[in-house]
Structure 1
Amino acid sequence: MSEETKGRDKMTSSASSRKKSIEDNAKDALELFEEESEEDYSEASLTEIDLSEAAQKLIEVEEIDGFFHFPTSDYEAQEQFSRLFGIDHLRYAEATGINPPIWYYYDGRMWSHVQYHIHTKIREYIGAVYSIFAHTTKDDWDALKEKTNKNYVGIVKTYVRKLKREPSRKNSILSLLPEELEYRIEESDFDTQPHLLNVNNGTVDLRKGRLLPHDGKDLLKKYIPIDYDPRSSCPRWRQFILDITGGDEELGRFLQKMAGYTSTGETRERQYYTHIGEKGNNGKSTYLETLADILGDYAFTVDRSLFVDINGRHKSTEYTQARLQGVRFAFSSESERSDILSLSKIKTFAGNDTITARNPYGIPFSIKPNCKLHLATNHIPQADGTDSAIWNRTVLIPYDQEFKGEKEDKHLREKLKSEYAGILGWIVEGARLYYKEGLELPKRLLDFREEERKLSDEILCFIQDECVVGLGNEEPAKAVHEAYKRYVYRNYRNRTPFGQRRFNAEMERRAKSLGDGDEPVFRLEKRSNPNQLFFSGLARLEGISVDPQAKVPDAVLTKAGWLTERRNGNHKKRQAQDEVAA
C-alpha cells in the first residue's frame, strides 16, 4: 500500500470519526457555538439535531479525498451554503410592493415565505462549519497542511472564527445569494399552471385526475393537507348534493363540475357565482364551507366589497386583492339587502383582468388573479337588468330546500369531515369533467337567471307594477317620471333613478321590446297645447282613468305579466284590469 493511499485512508477514517464525534457531541457543540456567537439569533433558533444533521451533510458535500474544504471568504461560504441546502430549495423574490425582498423555501411539498427561515438556514450552515472546525484534530490539520500549505490553514482558522463571531459575515453571505441567477424569481412565477393542484401526497393533474410526485420546479405555494385517493368514497356528501338540489341530477352534476372548475386556475368561463337561499338551513353554507375547508390554501374569504360598491373601502379592497395571488376560490359569506353589484369589479375579476393591489405600508403592484368569486346570500344584490355584460357573467344558484325538524342532520359537518379525502376526489372528478365537457348551465339555472334579470329591470317592473298599457290612455311624461322616481326609491333603495331624458329613452326601448315586431305598445309624443311630452297608450295607476274598451295587448301580458306574481305580492295591475273588465 502506497504512502498516498495510507494517507487517504487515514483521512477517510478521520472523516468518519469526525462525523461520529459531531453526532455524539452535538449538544456541547451547539452550546459552545451559541456561547461564543456575538449575534442574537432569537428569531432563528437552532437545535442540536439541526446542527448535527447540517454538519454531517456538509461533510458529505464538501469533503474530497478525506479533506473537508473550509471556506476562506464570504463568497466561498455562499457557494457552500448553496450546495448544502440545494439551489432547488431556495428562491429570492424582489416582489413589487413588498419590502424587504422575500425568501422562499421549498420543503418537499410547497414553497413557503420564510423570511426568518433563511436566517435559520444561514445559521445552520455557520454552526455546521464551526462544529466541523471544532472537531478537526491536530492530525487532521497537519495532514491538511501537507496537502495544501501552512498559509491556507491559517487563513481557514482566521475566517471560521470571524464567521462564527461577526454578524456581518452572515449578512454578507445573505447579500451574495441573490447574485446567483438561479435563486431569482418573480412573485408572478408561482402557481402559474392552472391544471395542477398541490395535495399532501403529490400534485394532481386535474385534466386527467392523475397523481404526480411533488416537484419544486412546479413552483407551487398553495397546498391542501389531504391525500388524494381516487378510490376514496363520500356517500354522505353525494346524498347531501342530492338533497340540496331536490333530486335534480343535472343540477347536482353542475355543482360538481363548478367545484372542479373552481379548483383549477382557469378563468375562461368569465363567470361569478351567487348562491341564493332565502330560507335558513338550505345547505348553501355547508356546501361552500366544505369546499373552502378542503381546498385549503387555494380558498380565501373576502369582504363583500370585492363584489359590491361600498364607500370608503378602496384601501381595504387593495389589501384584500394583494392576498388573492394563487387563490382559486374566493368567497364571501353574506351580502346586505341594499348592496348594488359593481359592474366594474365583476368584469375585472370574472374577466381575468390585471388589477392593482398593495400590502399595508407597501407600494401598489399589479397581479392577474385567477380566482372564481362565490357570493352566498339570502337575497340577490341589485344589478342593472339591462346590462348584458354583468348578467352574462352571473350564475345564480338557488337553494330552495329547507332542512328542519326531522330533515335536519345536526351532525352533518362532522360526518362530512370524515369524508374529506373522498370529497377531494369528487372535486377532482368534477375538474376532469369540466376539462372534458365544459361548464354549460342547466336550463333550470338559465331560466332562473332570466327571471331575476327581468325583476332587476326597474323600468320594466315600473311599467308592470305602476302603469296600465292600452289604447286610449295617455299620461304626461313628467308625471310618469315622478311616479317612476318614487317607485325606485321605494323598491331599489340605493339605486339612483334616471333623469327625465334618460327615462324617456328607456321607456321607449321597453315599449318596443314589449310590442309585436316594430310596433311599440305605447309611444312618446309631443303635444303643442300644452307644450309637453306625453306617453300615448300608457296611464299611471294613481288616479287612473282608462278607456273601458281598451284591451291590454297580449304581448304585455306574456312578456311582463309574470312580474306581478313575483313583485312583493303586488297585484294592482291585475286588479285594475279586472275592474275595467267588469
Structure 2
Amino acid sequence: MHSSEDQANGLTEELLASGLPLEVHQRLRYREVSTKTALDLVGINATGWVVPMCSPGGEQYLHEGKPFFRFKPHQGQLKGENPPKYVSPKGGGCRPYFSTLMPANSLADGKPLRITEGEKKTDCLNHYGLPTIGISGVDAWTDKRVEPRQFIPELETINWSGRDVFLVFDSDVTIKDSVRASLYRLTDALSERGAQVFVVLLPCELNGDKNGVDDFIYRHGADAYRALERISRPACKSRGKGKNCSRKWWEPEPPQIHHKALTACTVLDGIYANRLNHGLYQWNNSHWELIKGKDREALKRPLHQWMDEMGWHKRGDSVIGSMVSEILARLEKTKWDCDGFMAFANGTLRQDIFTPGHKPNDSQTFCFPFNYDPESTCPRWHQFLKETLGADDLIRLLRAAIRWTLIPKQIDAPFTHELVFDVHGPRRAGKGTLSEVLQAICGGSAGVGLIRSQSFCNPNALHSLIGKRIALDPDASGHVSDPGVFNSISSNEKVEVKKLYKDADSARLGVVIWRFFNDSPTASGGGIEGMGRRIVTFRFEKSVTNPDEELKLKLINEAAGIFWWAWSMSDSEMNDALRNRGKVLAIREASIEAALERDHILRFSVSNPGEYKAAELYRLYSRWITEEGQHPISATKFGREIKKLPWVEHTKDWKASYYKTHQPTQQDLALHIGITIESSRSGDFNPPAEQTHQPNTPEPQSSTEAMSQASLVSLVSSSSEKKGREEELEKGEEQQRESEVQFRPTRPTSVPVYVDGHNGWTSPTSLIPKAGLIVLIDELGITHSVNAKQVSLYPPKTKQIHRPSNYSTQLLVQSLPELSHE
C-alpha cells in the first residue's frame, strides 16, 4: 500500500510529465482518493485519482443524480489481461472534458478548437493557449444515449459551423487502422455540422515510443507542436460534384517532403544539433558529443529507422536528400558552451549553483566524468606534489594553472590569462603522472584534445580542439614553425579551422595548452618572442629510483578530490598566483632556460657578447648554429630577429652595419620573455627553507635577483647540452650528475685561447671580436667576462708564463651597471 503522501507525490509527477508546471496544479481539479471514496464515486474498489467532468460554465455533469467523475486507478490494482487505464461510472456513458485552463471565449462562434483524447492532454494544450476539448477515447464523442455516429448532447451545444477543428490523436494513428477509422468517423460528424477538420500528425520518438500531445510537448516543447499544427492537413478532401463526387481521406504519410522533414525535425531537435562548419553533435544525456564522419551520412541512419516506426515508405534518394538538407538547416545552433556552466556526472553547475541532471539547452559539449562533490579529498595527490615539486609557491602556482584550465571561459572573447604551461624534466620524474591526472580530471578524450608541434599549421588538427578543456601534448618534440597560431590559441583569438568535408572557418578554440617533454621543442618565425611571454615552465627535477607502478591509477581514482582541490581556490588567489609567477625563482629559471632552448637567436646573443660588423656577426652565427646541428636562417631574417633583443645595439655608417651585444642580466631575460620580477628584499619570492618540503637536494638560492655571469652561461650551456644528457638517460644510465639539476658552469665548447699570454682558457667560439667582452672559462671551470683585446688564439712569442692558481680571482668580471658582484 502506498501512503497518501506518496500518492499525492505520484499525481504531481504525473502532471509534471504531462507538461503541466507546478504553479497550475492548484487550478486543476485532480485529487487522490481512497478505495472507499473511489467505490462511492465510480463503483471501483481501488485507490487512484479522480477528476470531475464539468460543463464549460463549471457545473459538474451528473449521472443518476450523482456527480460524474473519471477515475484512474493506481497501477496493478485492476485484474484481468488488459485492465482499463481509466474508468467512468458504470452505465454513465461519455462526457466531454472542459479544462479549467481553457482561455475565455474559446467556444465563441468561428474560433478554432482542438479535440484530443484524455484530460491531462486537454489541460496541457489549454495551458499553452491552445483551446481544446477533451474526449475520453477516440470514439467517446458518441455513446448509447444518442443514435449511432451522433454527437453526445454535451457536444451538440457547441456551434461547429465555420469553425476550424484540429484533431490531435496519439502518434500511433499512423500504424493503427482502428484509430484511423475512428478519426474518419469523427471527421464525418464534424463535417456534417459545418466544421473544417484538420489532422495534426504527432510523430513517435526515434525508438518508436508513442507520443500523446502532452508527452510530445513535455519532450519537445509547445513551439514544436505549433509547428506541426501549421502543417496539419485536411482530414478529408472532396473531388468532383454530384454522382462523380469522391472523397480522399487523410493519409499518415505526408505527400510533401517539407512536411516530412519538419515533422522529423521536431523529434530530432534535442537529440541532434548542427554546428556550422564544425559538424553534427548528438546528445548523450549529459552533454553534446561531436559525431565523426560526414554529417549527412550520420543523419541518414536514424532518419530511416524513425521512418520505419512511422510507417513511411516513400524514401528515394531525392526524398531523403531533400529531407536531410532541411533537417540540418533547422538543427543549426549558434550558442554553445554557455558561460559559467559546468556539467558533471551527477548534475550541472550553473553560475555556482549546482542542480541535479542535465539539459540539452545548456549546450554543453563537455562533461566531467566524476561527481561534483565538495566533500571529496585527495591525500595521495598532496603527497605526490610534495615529493615532486616540494616548494609551496610552486604547488600554489600549479594549483592556479589547473584551475585556470578547468574553469568555464567566455568562448567568444580573449582570455584574461594568455598562458601556456610547459612541464619538463628527466624520465620518471612525475611529468607523465601529472599528464595522466590532467587528462582524468578533464574527462579523457571528451575534454582533452591532442596537439603536436606540427599541429599549429594544420587547420584540421586545430578543429578537433573545439569544445575541449585542454590541448595537451604528452610528449612534445619537434619544431613549432608558426608561433603566431600558438600565441593566438593561448590568447583565445580566432584561428583557421577546418573539418573534413566542411568549408574552412575561423574559430576561438577556448583551450589551454599544456606540453610535457624531456627535450624542449624548438620554434622559429614571427611571434617567437610572444611565445616566451606566454609560457610558464614547471621543472620536475629528479627521477624516482623505485617508482610506485600504481601511482597513476591511485591519483586517477582521486579525480573528484583533485578537481575540488583546484576548484576551491578563489578567483583572486588564482589571478594573483598567475600574475605573480615571476616571483617564484624556480619558475623564472626554468622559463629562462626553456626560452634559451626554444629560441636559438636568444641563446646565441647571450653566449656571444661583443662588438661586431653585421657580416662578421652573421658568419659567427652561421658557424655557431651549424655546430648546434641546425641550419642558419637568412642574413636578413637574422638581422631582423636579433634587433628585437633589448641588449643588442645596432648602428651603421656609410661603410657597414654594426652590432654591439651586451651581456643580459636575469632581469633582462625575464622581462624579455614576459616575466615581471621585483626585488628580493620584498620577501615575496621564495618561502623560508623550513617551508619547503623538497625530498631532492635543493638548488642553492641566489642572494640577489641579478644573475651572475657564471649562472647565465650555465643556463646557456644547460640548454645546449640537454639533448646529450637525455640521450645518456635513454641508454640506461641510472644516475644523473648533480650538475644536471644545479646550474653549474659547464664548457660550451673547448677552443683553447690565451689571455694576456696565459694558457689554460677556453672560448665558446673560435672567432674573437676586436672589442667588447667575451665569455671565457678558466681551467678550474670558472666563467669570466674578459675584454676581447686581452684574448688571442695564438701563444705569445715569448715564453709562456703559467698563471698562479688564484689568478682567476684577480681578473674580475667587467659587468654591466645592473649587476653587482661581491
TM-score (normalised: structure 1): 0.64
2:138 corresponding residue in structure 1 = 11
2:453 is aligned with 1:304: yes
Q: Deviations over 1:417-456 (max 9, x none)?
A: 3222222333433585666756231523134324554676
Contact 1:197 1:263 in 2 (8 A): no
1:274 corresponding residue in structure 2 = 422
2:557 corresponding residue in structure 1 = 418
Q: Deviations over 1:23-42 (max 9, x none)?
A: xx99xxxxxxxxxxxxxxxx
Alpha carbons of structure 1 residues 179 and 71: separation in structure 2 relative to 1, 3 Å: farther
Contact 2:394 2:584 in 1 (8 A): no
Q: Determine the C-alpha separation between the residues in 1 that align with 2:209 and 2:377.
A: 43
SS in 2 for 1:55: coil
SS in 1 for 2:449: strand
1:230 corresponding residue in structure 2 = 374
When the two chains are superposed, the root-mean-square deviation of aligned CA atoms in Å is: 4.8
Higher relative CO (Cα under 8 Å, sequence separation at least 6) belongs to 1
The alpha carbon displacement at 1:353 in A equals 2.0
Q: Percent identity?
A: 16
Q: Determine the C-alpha separation between the residues in 2 that align with 1:370 and 1:343.
A: 17
Structure number with bigger Rg: 2
Q: Determine the C-alpha separation between the residues in 2 that align with 1:446 and 1:121.
A: 55
Contact 1:260 1:432 in 2 (8 A): no
1:249 corresponding residue in structure 2 = 392
Q: Determine the C-alpha separation between the residues in 1 that align with 2:597 and 2:215.
A: 73
The alpha carbon displacement at 1:287 in A equals 0.5
The alpha carbon displacement at 1:274 in A equals 1.5
The alpha carbon displacement at 1:364 in A equals 1.5
2:381 is aligned with 1:199: no
Select the residue among 588, 591, 600 that pairs with 1:449.
591
Contact 1:485 1:497 in 2 (8 A): no
Q: Determine the C-alpha separation between the residues in 1 that align with 2:138 and 2:661.
A: 107
1:294 corresponding residue in structure 2 = 441
Q: Determine the C-alpha separation between the residues in 1 that align with 2:572 and 2:207.
A: 50
Q: Determine the C-alpha separation between the residues in 2 that align with 1:524 and 1:179.
A: 62
Contact 2:648 2:660 in 1 (8 A): no
Contact 2:287 2:360 in 1 (8 A): yes
Where do residues 352-501 of structure 1 align in structure 2 (5 Å cutoff)? Answer: 352-382=492-522, 388-405=529-546, 408-430=547-569, 437=576, 439-440=578-579, 441=581, 442-444=583-585, 445-450=587-592, 452-453=594-595, 462=604, 465=607, 479=616, 481-491=618-628, 493-496=630-633, 498=635
The alpha carbon displacement at 1:236 in A equals 1.0
2:713 corresponding residue in structure 1 = 564
SS in 1 for 2:639: helix
Q: Determine the C-alpha separation between the residues in 2 that align with 1:217 and 1:420.
A: 27
The alpha carbon displacement at 1:330 in A equals 0.4
Contact 1:209 1:429 in 2 (8 A): no
Alpha carbons of structure 1 residues 505 and 178: separation in structure 2 relative to 1, 3 Å: closer
Q: Deviations over 1:346-380 (max 9, x none)?
A: 22212222111222344322212111111111123
SS in 2 for 1:184: coil
Q: Determine the C-alpha separation between the residues in 2 that align with 1:458 and 1:61.
A: 65
SS in 1 for 2:578: coil
Q: Determine the C-alpha separation between the residues in 2 that align with 1:299 and 1:11.
A: 54
Q: Determine the C-alpha separation between the residues in 1 that align with 2:621 and 2:315.
A: 78
Q: Determine the C-alpha separation between the residues in 1 that align with 2:302 and 2:645.
A: 72
The alpha carbon displacement at 1:283 in A equals 0.7
Contact 1:55 1:129 in 2 (8 A): no
Select the residue among 111, 125, 139 that pairs with 2:288.
111
Q: Determine the C-alpha separation between the residues in 2 that align with 1:436 and 1:532.
A: 49
The alpha carbon displacement at 1:342 in A equals 3.6
The alpha carbon displacement at 1:329 in A equals 0.4
Contact 1:200 1:223 in 2 (8 A): yes
The alpha carbon displacement at 1:208 in A equals 3.9
Alpha carbons of structure 1 residues 300 and 524: separation in structure 2 relative to 1, 3 Å: closer
Contact 2:388 2:540 in 1 (8 A): yes
Pairs aligned (count): 457
Q: Give the structure with the larger helix fraction.
A: 1
Alpha carbons of structure 1 residues 458 and 356: separation in structure 2 relative to 1, 3 Å: closer
Alpha carbons of structure 1 residues 400 and 58: separation in structure 2 relative to 1, 3 Å: same
2:463 is aligned with 1:322: yes
2:82 corresponding residue in structure 1 = none
SS in 2 for 1:449: helix
The alpha carbon displacement at 1:476 in A equals 7.1
The alpha carbon displacement at 1:258 in A equals 0.8
Where do residues 86-165 of structure 1 align in structure 2 (5 Å cutoff)? Answer: 87-93=269-275, 95-96=276-277, 103-113=280-290, 118-119=299-300, 121-123=302-304, 125-130=306-311, 163-164=312-313
Where do residues 208-219 of structure 1 align in structure 2 (5 Å cutoff)? Answer: 208=352, 210=354, 213-219=357-363
Q: Determine the C-alpha separation between the residues in 2 that align with 1:172 and 1:448.
A: 59
**Aligned AA (1:446):** R
Where do residues 519-538 of structure 1 align in structure 2 (5 Å cutoff)? Answer: none
Alpha carbons of structure 1 residues 59 and 119: separation in structure 2 relative to 1, 3 Å: farther
Q: Determine the C-alpha separation between the residues in 2 that align with 1:268 and 1:238.
A: 28
Alpha carbons of structure 1 residues 434 and 70: separation in structure 2 relative to 1, 3 Å: farther
The alpha carbon displacement at 1:396 in A equals 1.3
**Aligned AA (1:370):** G
**Aligned AA (2:397):** F
Alpha carbons of structure 1 residues 173 and 59: separation in structure 2 relative to 1, 3 Å: farther
Contact 2:498 2:505 in 1 (8 A): yes
2:45 corresponding residue in structure 1 = none
Contact 1:54 1:124 in 2 (8 A): no
Contact 1:209 1:432 in 2 (8 A): no
TM-score (normalised: structure 2): 0.47
Alpha carbons of structure 1 residues 487 and 13: separation in structure 2 relative to 1, 3 Å: same
1:552 corresponding residue in structure 2 = none
Contact 2:424 2:517 in 1 (8 A): yes
Where do residues 70-81 of structure 1 align in structure 2 (5 Å cutoff)? Answer: 71=252, 73=254, 74=256, 81=264
Q: Determine the C-alpha separation between the residues in 1 that align with 2:486 and 2:643.
A: 24
Q: Determine the C-alpha separation between the residues in 2 that align with 1:325 and 1:537.
A: 44
Q: Deviations over 1:126-180 (max 9, x none)?
A: 44444xxxxxxxxxxxxxxxxxxxxxxxxxxxxxxxx245557666655554675
**Aligned AA (1:190):** W
2:20 corresponding residue in structure 1 = none
The alpha carbon displacement at 1:269 in A equals 0.9
